[in-house]
Amino acid sequence: MDASQAGQLLMVGFATQELDEVKSLATQGRLGGVILFQRNATSAKEAADITKSLLLPGKQRPSLIVAVDQEQGRVCRIREGMTLFPGPSQLGLLNRPATTRRVARWVALELALLGVHLNLAPVADLPETVPWPPILEGRAFGRDPFNAARHVAAWVRGSQRAGVASCAKHFPGHGSVPGDTHREIQEDHSEREKILRRHLVPFRAAFEAGVACVMLSHVLYPALDPSAPASLSGPVVKGLLRVRTGFQGLVLTDDLDMGAVACRLSTSDAVLEAICAGVDMALVGRNMSTGPSITSLVEEVEKAVRGRHVPPKQVGESVRRVMAFKALWASGVPRPGSQIPCKAAARLAGRLFREVSSWPMS
């Protein structure tokens, strides 16, 4: 295992002034991907300008995976100049999976025009409480596992057939905890059988639909692993996800700068724990005012690989999965001159918003 490739296991957020640093690391093959936030781009044009700037000279294909949260509804990073649709909870209430598939297709087609390769959607969680946990409000397709599963699968198929990879999140389910892992660790005391028979239903549907990526939650599930949240848990990643469900795609953590992890681990330590647990890519949003630079984070991972503080064979397998993902999905280049929002997409969105606005107030 070449330690210089270890940075492929990182997906990072960045500030505008760090763009040259990101591109330098990408040119050296030392960084796996980036995630766009509203601090980078709020409009389609701004997003396309950024992704275009990340293309390496003389290359037709980007060297980085470009990801974004474009779930629709309340979580939608790029808004200006994009077609916006009703959110997942409204699509779940409409209960027409074919419509969900069409929405996902149009979302993906527009993202592809911007040079985005991975949409961190759909949410496959099942809200258990009434009202829904605030972190999931409007973001999940519903409480019924089989109905949610149909919509999750429809989203995956619609998006991926349009050329943008999907990411089912937050494995193995975030719906049974009332709190917010952005702030602190949450514990789900569900029995193992409930997790397997209920909360995994939408994820299994995503796997059967061929979802390219899965995001792990920062929730602690004592029935699965009493010592670590899912994002840092070998039993969850290597056991439940890889062996029990058979998923062989890309495994990504939720943002390791979130309070659930950051309250007890430094960013570098969290990244290394995630890699040791079997994760393919550690997501570091870098929204905190303090923390390591992108280069120093990459160097920490490279140092750990050289010192064999993380299993070299496992790192090699993850690097191969990242590179395979890039070969399959990260071939789109931005075409900022293209028509966005797409007229047909806007017509569909208009019809759907009129339909949901006609519902009686509850």
Residue 221 phi, psi (nearest 5): -115, 95
Local structure of 300: helix, strand or coil: helix
**How far is 1 from 22, CA to CA, in rounded Å?**
23
Q: What single-letter amino acid sits at 137?
A: E
Tokens 């681990």: give the residue.
Answer: 265
Whether 218 sits among the annotated catalytic residues: the reply is no
Point out the catalytic residue in the list 49, 144, 180, 182: 182
Local structure of 356: helix, strand or coil: helix
Q: Are 158 and 101 in contact (CB under 8 A)?
A: yes
DSSP state of 254: S
Structure-block tokens of residue 311: 């299993």
Point out the catalytic residue in the list 254, 255, 257, 280: 254
Whether 117 sits among the annotated catalytic residues: the reply is no
Structure-block tokens of residue 276: 């040791």
The full 3-state SS of 35-54, as one line of letters, equals EECCCCCCEHHHHHHHHHHC
Q: Are 113 and 170 in contact (CB under 8 A)?
A: no
Q: What angle do CA 255, 63, 3 make, to 5 degrees?
A: 75
Radius of gyration of the CA atoms of the chain, in A: 19
Residue 41 phi, psi (nearest 5): -160, 125
Tokens 């979580």: give the residue.
Answer: 75
Q: Are 329 and 118 in contact (CB under 8 A)?
A: yes
Structure-block tokens of residue 295: 């280069």
**How far is 198 from 196, CA to CA, in rounded Å?**
6
Tokens 């997003």: give the residue.
Answer: 47
Catalytic residues: 182, 254
